[in-house]
């Protein structure tokens, strides 16, 4: 007999510190966003308190939060659409057509993701300056699509390969074009893959900081830059900063919890399938 | 699989876009790196050959940045690897509430990096932070988490670990799950201890995945920016000034030639790491493990 009871106890004992370490920062900033200033700086730290919404109302009125939210959303949705269209076409191309060096090209696609972004952002800044695209949605959008695309392609190849070939062939015999097959047959079957790719692309754009910091000034400023600004400007305004931070991470948390099964699959697909 | 010309019309838009957006800036960057080019003096751009590169040889700040980057990368990847492997081994044996707990453990990976770093900044605060309060409460001295040169590097490593242990965990868990269970059963029948079957079955079969995870994480840690920017900005002094932060500073000063030269050097280093990864991945199946 295996000592299962002992094992379960040991597992629980090991998991408690891991869970505290993982979740405490998220818990702490979330509760901080509902605390009064007095409660925020109280010693000993307050674990029980009456929640207030002042921090949220203040951050929404003191800074043009909705403008920044709009910037972040428009750029993230644009990134999602752009990388889905390009990624679907290229993913289908890799999944269904053999050509010389297709494996190597597919690997090169992944390699583009490896370039340090700091290396790209400096020349990119100089180029956008010449084109008059600094501090515009377009400047950030083009960069973010290129960040999201390699992963979208890899992910979608994996989903498209699993679509049964005979269904596609039958449609083509009935006079459907290649593009028609992709749109009417392959995309509906591989829809879960497109959802995962869409979420990843959205998060790439929503989370990105360096390019936004350097390329956006006022007009196209996105939320991560706002958070970093609240953090370093003239003393920590913990209440407002926490409220803003919670609002910015909310979509991430919701998406992770709702779609965790797909996200796990998506993240490990590339690594395990090799 | 079909061979056909139609394929190119599917592939071209994405590939042209991708390589254009990556390769044009890189080529431009290499070109700028040969010039003495200040942002505020656009009319006074002079070709200086390799001067921006040769300067690194006797620049203590650059050497320091290389050391800091190496310490951070090696430290972070080591901690994340061990923690991720440990967690993955823990999760291989099913237990109650495995699924919900696994989801909770993934959260840091998906939180906006700047927000994650902000959380820790609040926790690390020397006077107001919850960490130092409880250190004091159990009779220990408060620690200057982000203002002590040595400790600051440890602190940013910890925050990086907080964010990316879930990635290591996921990759190695996925690797462990597909290992054939018959091998472990046979080993158990032969009287192998848990350590022996780990050492002689798990490790050899998992080597490929472990290598992959370490290399991917290594390249990511090498170019980490967000967390360091929010937590220390490269300070105190130059204590956490990695090559990325040095690059950012050169850019901030408007010294485009130097900023691009640093960029090209980091690119070469990452490219070498990438080649190692490529060789490992493209190795034929039979040679694995």
Which of these, B175, B167, B161, B174, lies nearest to B106 by C-alpha position? Answer: B167
Here the tokens at position A214 are 């350097």
CA gap B145, B156 in Å, rounded: 9
Mean pLDDT of B225-234: 94
User: Which residues does chain B have within 8 Å of residue A97's beta carbon, measured at their own beta carbons?
Assistant: 1-4, 6-7, 10-11
Mean pLDDT of A22-49: 89
Residues A62, A67, A72: CA angle, nearest 5 degrees: 125
How many residues would you count in chain A?
274
Here the tokens at position A36 are 């009064």
Say if residue B224's pLDDT is above 90.
yes
Q: Is residue B128 part of a domain?
A: no
Q: Domain with B264 in it: what CATH number?
A: 1.10.3720.10
Give A66's pLDDT tier (boundaries 50, 70, 90). Answer: very high
pLDDT of residue B2: 56
User: Which residues does chain B have within 8 Å of residue A146's beta carbon, measured at their own beta carbons?
Assistant: 17-18, 21-22
Here the tokens at position A261 are 């099964």
Here the tokens at position B250 are 């050169």
CB contact under 8 Å between B105 and A19, yes or no, is yes
| Residue boundaries of the structural domains of chain A | 59-263
Give A38's pLDDT tier (boundaries 50, 70, 90). Answer: confident
A3 three-state secondary structure:
coil
Here the tokens at position B29 are 């960057």
Say if residue A13's pLDDT is above 80.
yes
CA gap A237, B118 in Å, rounded: 12
**Which residue is closest to A141 within chain B, CA to CA?**
B21
pLDDT of residue A2: 56
Say if residue B282's pLDDT is above 80.
no
CA gap A163, A160 in Å, rounded: 5
Q: Is B36 exposed, middle or buried (0-12, 13-18, 19+ CB in 10 A)?
A: middle
Q: Residue B261: count other Cβ atoms within 10 Å of its Cβ.
A: 27
Which of these, A56, A59, A55, lies nearest to A68 by C-alpha position? Answer: A59
The answer to whether B1 and A98 are in contact (CB under 8 A) is yes
Lowest mean pLDDT among A136-140, B19-23, B270-274: B270-274
pLDDT-above-90 percentage for chain B:
56
pLDDT of residue A265: 67
CA gap B111, A245 in Å, rounded: 10
User: Which residues does chain B have within 8 Å of residue A115's beta carbon, measured at their own beta carbons?
Assistant: 22, 26, 267, 270
User: Which residues does chain A have within 8 Å of residue B95's beta carbon, measured at their own beta carbons?
Assistant: 8, 11-12
The answer to whether A252 and A199 are in contact (CB under 8 A) is no
Here the tokens at position B117 are 């770093």
CA gap A216, A260 in Å, rounded: 32
Here the tokens at position A202 are 């959205």
User: Which residues does chain B have within 8 Å of residue A13's beta carbon, measured at their own beta carbons?
Assistant: none
The answer to whether B238 and B19 are in contact (CB under 8 A) is no
pLDDT of residue A22: 96
Task: Name the residue facing A248 among B26, B115, B120 (closest C-beta).
Answer: B115
Mean pLDDT of B220-238: 92
pLDDT of residue A75: 97
The bridge status of strand B35-36 relative to strand B46-47 is: antiparallel
User: Which residues does chain A have within 8 Å of residue B24's beta carbon, measured at their own beta carbons?
Assistant: 127
Best of A100, A113, A119 to disrupt the B interface (most B CBs within 10 Å) is A119
pLDDT of residue A43: 81
The highest-level CATH class for domain A59-263 is mainly alpha
Give B274's pLDDT tier (boundaries 50, 70, 90). Answer: confident
pLDDT of residue B34: 95
Element of type H or E holding B35 = strand B35-36
Say if residue A41's pLDDT is above 90.
no
Task: Name the DSSP class of A34.
Answer: T
CB contact under 8 Å between A23 and B101, yes or no, is no
Give B151's pLDDT tier (boundaries 50, 70, 90). Answer: very high
pLDDT of residue B283: 61
Give A48's pLDDT tier (boundaries 50, 70, 90). Answer: confident
Say if residue B87's pLDDT is above 60.
yes
How many residues would you count in chain B?
289
Could you tell me if B141 lies within 8 Å of chain A, comparing CB atoms? no
Q: For residue A211, which phi and psi values (nearest 5 degrees)?
A: -65, -40
Say if residue A234's pLDDT is above 70.
no
Give B97's pLDDT tier (boundaries 50, 70, 90). Answer: confident
Which of these, A48, A201, A246, A66, lies nearest to B118 by C-alpha position? Answer: A246
pLDDT of residue B134: 92
Measured between alpha carbons, how far is residue B288 from residues A166, B163, B216 in Å? 34, 30, 18
The answer to whether A252 and A207 are in contact (CB under 8 A) is yes
pLDDT tens digits, one per residue of A101-142: 888 888 888 778 778 899 999 999 999 999 999 999 999 999
Sign of CA dihedral A249, A250, A256, A259: negative
Mean pLDDT of A37-46: 84
CB contact under 8 Å between A210 and B225, yes or no, is yes
CB contact under 8 Å between A203 and B110, yes or no, is yes
CA gap B169, A116 in Å, rounded: 24
Chain B 161-180, residues with CB within 8 Å of chain A CB atoms: 162, 166-167, 170-171, 173-175, 178
The answer to whether B206 and B175 are in contact (CB under 8 A) is yes
Beta bridge mates, A196 = none
Residues B76, B82, B87: CA angle, nearest 5 degrees: 120
pLDDT of residue A104: 83
Give A3's pLDDT tier (boundaries 50, 70, 90). Answer: low
CB contact under 8 Å between A44 and B137, yes or no, is yes
State the nearest Cα–Cα gap between A103 and chain B, in angstroms.
10
CB contact under 8 Å between A231 and B104, yes or no, is no
Give A20's pLDDT tier (boundaries 50, 70, 90). Answer: very high
CA gap B100, A215 in Å, rounded: 39
pLDDT tens digits, one per residue of B180-191: 888 888 998 988
Best of A27, A94, A116 to disrupt the B interface (most B CBs within 10 Å) is A116
Q: Residue B259: count other Cβ atoms within 10 Å of its Cβ.
A: 31
User: Which residues does chain B have within 8 Å of residue A209's beta carbon, measured at their own beta carbons?
Assistant: 113-114, 225-226, 229
B36 three-state secondary structure:
strand
Residues B96, B99, B103: CA angle, nearest 5 degrees: 135
Task: Name the DSSP class of B143.
Answer: -
Say if residue B288's pLDDT is above 60.
no
CA gap A202, B16 in Å, rounded: 22
Task: Name the residue facing B21 among A23, A146, A248 (closest C-beta).
Answer: A146
What dihedral do alpha carbons B152, B156, B157, B158 form, nearest 10°? 100
Beta bridge mates, B36 = B46
CA gap A71, A219 in Å, rounded: 8
Which of these, A195, A178, A189, lies nearest to A259 by C-alpha position? Answer: A195
Say if residue A1's pLDDT is above 50.
no
pLDDT tens digits, one per residue of A250-268: 999 998 888 777 766 666 6
- Number of domains within chain B: 1
Chain B 5-34, residues with CB within 8 Å of chain A CB atoms: 6-11, 13-15, 17-19, 21-22, 24-26, 28-29, 32
pTM greater than 0.95: no
Conformation bin of residue B233: beta by default, left when phi > 0, alpha when psi is -120 to 50: left
pLDDT tens digits, one per residue of A202-219: 999 999 999 999 999 889
Element of type H or E holding A161 = helix A137-161
- What average pLDDT does chain A have? 88
The answer to whether A56 and A33 are in contact (CB under 8 A) is yes
pLDDT of residue A273: 47
pLDDT tens digits, one per residue of A168-215: 888 888 888 888 999 998 999 999 889 889 988 999 999 999 999 999
CA A166 from chain centre, in angstroms, equals: 35
User: Which residues does chain A have within 8 Å of residue B120's beta carbon, measured at their own beta carbons?
Assistant: 25
Number of alpha carbons in the 13 Å side-chain half-sphere of residue B245: 28
State the nearest Cα–Cα gap between A266 and chain B, in angstroms.
11
């Amino acid at each position: 007999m295996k000592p299962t009871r002992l094992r379960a106890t040991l597992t629980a004992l090991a998991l408690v510190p891991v869970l505290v370490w993982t979740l405490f920062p998220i818990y702490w900033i979330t509760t901080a966003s509902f605390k009064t200033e007095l409660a925020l700086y109280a010693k000993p730290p307050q674990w029980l308190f009456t929640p207030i919404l002042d921090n949220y109302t203040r951050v929404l009125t003191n800074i043009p939060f909705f403008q920044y939210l709009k910037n972040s959303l428009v750029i993230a949705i644009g990134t999602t659409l752009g990388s889905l269209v390009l990624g679907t076409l290229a993913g289908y191309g890799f999944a269904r057509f053999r050509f010389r060096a297709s494996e190597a090209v597919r690997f090169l696609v992944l390699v583009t993701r490896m370039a340090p972004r700091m290396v790209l952002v400096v020349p990119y800044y100089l180029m956008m300056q010449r084109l008059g695209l600094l501090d515009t949605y377009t400047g950030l959008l083009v960069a973010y699509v290129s960040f999201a695309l390699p992963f979208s392609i890899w992910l979608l190849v994996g989903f498209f390969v699993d679509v049964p070939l005979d269904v596609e062939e039958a449609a083509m015999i009935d006079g459907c074009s290649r593009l028609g097959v992709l749109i009417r047959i392959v995309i509906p079957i591989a829809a879960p893959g497109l959802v995962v790719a869409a979420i990843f692309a959205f998060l790439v754009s929503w989370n990105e900081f360096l390019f936004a910091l350097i390329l956006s000034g006022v007009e196209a400023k996105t939320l991560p830059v706002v958070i970093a600004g609240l953090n370093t400007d003239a003393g920590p305004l913990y209440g407002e900063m926490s409220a803003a931070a919670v609002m910015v991470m909310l979509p991430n948390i919701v998406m992770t919890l709702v779609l965790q099964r797909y996200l796990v699959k998506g993240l490990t697909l590339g690594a395990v399938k090799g | 699989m079909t061979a056909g010309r139609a394929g190119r019309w599917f592939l071209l838009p994405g590939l042209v876009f991708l390589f254009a957006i990556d390769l044009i800036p890189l080529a431009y960057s290499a070109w700028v790196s040969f010039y003495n080019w200040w942002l505020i003096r656009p009319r006074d751009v002079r070709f200086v050959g390799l001067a921006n590169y040769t300067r690194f040889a006797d620049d203590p700040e650059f050497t320091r940045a290389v050391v800091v980057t190496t310490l951070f990368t090696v430290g972070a990847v080591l901690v994340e690897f061990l923690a991720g492997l440990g967690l993955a081994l823990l999760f291989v044996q099913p237990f109650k509430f495995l699924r919900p707990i696994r989801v909770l453990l993934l959260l840091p990976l998906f939180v906006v990096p700047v927000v994650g770093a902000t959380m820790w900044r609040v926790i690390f605060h020397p006077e107001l932070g919850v960490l130092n309060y409880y250190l004091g409460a159990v009779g220990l001295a408060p620690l200057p988490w982000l203002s002590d040169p040595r400790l600051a590097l440890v602190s940013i490593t910890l925050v990086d670990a907080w964010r990316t242990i879930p990635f290591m965990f996921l990759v190695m868990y996925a690797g462990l799950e597909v290992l054939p269970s018959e091998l472990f059963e046979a080993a158990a029948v032969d009287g192998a201890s848990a350590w022996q079957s780990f050492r002689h079955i798990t490790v050899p079969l998992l080597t490929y995945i472990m290598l992959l995870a370490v290399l991917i994480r290594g390249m990511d840690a090498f170019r980490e920016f967000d967390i360091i920017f929010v937590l220390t900005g490269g300070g105190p002094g130059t204590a956490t000034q990695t090559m990325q932060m040095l690059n950012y500073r050169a850019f901030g000063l408007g010294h485009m030639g130097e900023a691009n030269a640093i960029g090209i050097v980091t690119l070469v280093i990452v490219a070498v790491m990438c080649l190692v990864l490529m060789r490992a991945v493209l190795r034929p199946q039979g040679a694995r493990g």
